[in-house]
């Protein structure tokens, strides 16, 4: 019978290597393993089960992104923590619906208290209601858990199958506008930033890179003289060339000269090695610059908003941010309220 997964195994092995021992179990052993994990509320063992199911039977399989894996793992651990009174194998009636409403209402005291006690790593848990997109992600993780438990033959319960997310009370375009940095805020952040911090800000706010893409970026993928860089394995596993602004190209060239003067290095652009490290560095930068911290992904939103404001061309926004569809770029048009105000200025 498989033993509990360890943190070392989660971090050092490939997805295929991590699922191998569960794949080798016969039906009865896999069921016993899943039942034990659920009965003991073993979050790591439950995640091991979910990851195996995602890798072997998920839509993306082994190509499931590291970001999705982390988000699902966090969602499963949160569910276990917030469902203290629920039997995971036999949840009560309306348990899924009640969980969604708790997230929407901000009823997450156990997570906040656990975080305050220093027992959680990474980003701090913020009190208050979750954004609709975050609730959807937590529910997706919960559904993945019950898909995996059903695959293992541990339960046929499906408490999240028909849950409703509820209506969004704030328009998506208004949320989008609130989650991007203004030109003035970016200037203040660049003025207060150290070399690596300025590179992070510009990779997000000028090149539109996601955090995971910043962390993977290598110097041999940057052509500052040609003002372009190559993003390998972006969202959906896609690779693409990204145009650089003169300011970002210059900042990268100067930062590279400084890095080459130092000993060591593994070829990656950033010295930071984790999303949490980037998150915390940008948060501290905002504190020094006296700018409201809106997250790291808000830098990417700033790039999309600024490019649309400058060009009015959604196609350019889609191309620069590498969105799969034009509809995904439309949010930047809706968030540009200044165009609407200018249209209304002449009304009598």
Q: What is the 3-state secondary structure (H, E, C) of 265-310?
A: CCCECCCCCCHHHHHHHHHHHHHHHCCCCCCCHHHHHHHHHHHHHH
Our count of domains for the chain comes to: 2
Tell me how many degrees the CA angle 296-300-306 measures, rounded to the nearest 5. Answer: 130
pLDDT higher than 60, residue 9: no
Domain boundary (151, 168, 188) is at 151
Q: In this structure, is residue 1 part of a structural domain? A: no
Residue 165 in any domain: the answer is no
Lowest mean pLDDT among 68-77, 166-175, 219-228, 294-303: 166-175
**Is 313 part of a structural domain of the chain?**
yes
Residue with tokens 């997109």: 133
Q: 98-121: per-residue pLDDT in tens? A: 999 999 988 887 776 666 555 555
Tell me the average pLDDT across 311-319.
89
Q: Of 117, 151, 185, which residue is a domain's last?
A: 151
Tell me the whole-structure pTM to 2 decimals.
Answer: 0.67
Question: Which of residues 112, 134, 151 is at a domain's end?
Answer: 151
Residue 337 has pLDDT above 50, yes or no: yes
- Statement: residue 174 has pLDDT above 70: no
Section 123-128 average pLDDT: 66
Q: What is the per-residue pLDDT for 187?
A: 96
Phi, psi of 231 (to 5 degrees): -95, 115
Same domain, 265 and 122: no
Domain annotation covers residue 44: yes
Q: Which residue has the higher pLDDT, 304 or 341?
A: 304
Q: Any idea what the CATH number is for the domain that residue 289 is in?
A: 1.10.443.10
Find all residues with CB under 8 Å of 145, minimum gap 6, and list them: 46, 50, 76, 79
Structural domain for 108, as ranges = 7-151
What is the percent of the chain with per-residue pLDDT over 90, rounded to a whole number? 55
130, 215: one domain = no
């Amino acid at each position: 019978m498989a033993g509990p997964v360890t943190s070392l195994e989660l971090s050092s092995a490939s997805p295929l290597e991590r699922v191998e021992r569960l794949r080798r179990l016969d039906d009865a052993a896999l069921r016993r393993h899943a039942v034990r994990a659920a009965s003991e509320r073993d979050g790591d063992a439950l995640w091991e089960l979910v990851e195996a199911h995602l890798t072997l039977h998920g839509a993306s399989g082994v190509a499931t992104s590291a970001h999705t894996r982390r988000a699902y793992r966090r969602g499963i651990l949160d569910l276990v923590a917030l469902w203290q009174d629920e039997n995971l194998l036999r949840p009560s009636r309306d348990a899924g619906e009640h969980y969604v409403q708790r997230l929407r209402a901000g009823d997450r005291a156990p997570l906040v208290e656990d975080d305050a006690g220093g027992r959680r790593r990474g980003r701090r848990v913020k009190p208050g209601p979750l954004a609709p997109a975050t609730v959807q992600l937590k529910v997706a993780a919960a559904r993945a858990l019950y898909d995996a438990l059903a695959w293992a033959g541990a339960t046929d319960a499906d408490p999240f199958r028909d849950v409703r997310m509820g209506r969004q009370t704030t328009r998506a375009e208004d949320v989008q506008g609130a989650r991007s940095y203004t030109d003035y805020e970016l200037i203040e952040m660049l003025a207060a930033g150290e070399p690596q911090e300025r590179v992070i800000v510009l990779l997000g706010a000028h090149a539109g890179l996601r955090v995971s893409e910043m962390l993977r970026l290598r110097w041999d993928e940057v052509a500052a003289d040609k003002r372009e860089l190559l993003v390998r394995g972006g969202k959906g596993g896609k690779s693409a060339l990204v145009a650089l602004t003169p300011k970002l190209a210059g900042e990268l060239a100067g930062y590279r000269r400084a890095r080459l003067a130092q000993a060591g290095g593994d070829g990656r652009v950033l010295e930071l090695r984790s999303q949490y490290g980037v998150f915390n560095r940008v948060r501290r930068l905002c504190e020094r610059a006296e700018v409201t911290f809106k997250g790291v992904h808000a830098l990417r939103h700033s790039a999309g908003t600024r490019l649309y404001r400058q060009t009015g061309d959604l196609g350019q926004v889609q191309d620069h941010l590498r969105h799969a569809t034009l509809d995904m770029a439309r949010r930047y048009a809706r968030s540009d309220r200044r165009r609407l105000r200018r249209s209304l200025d002449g009304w009598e």
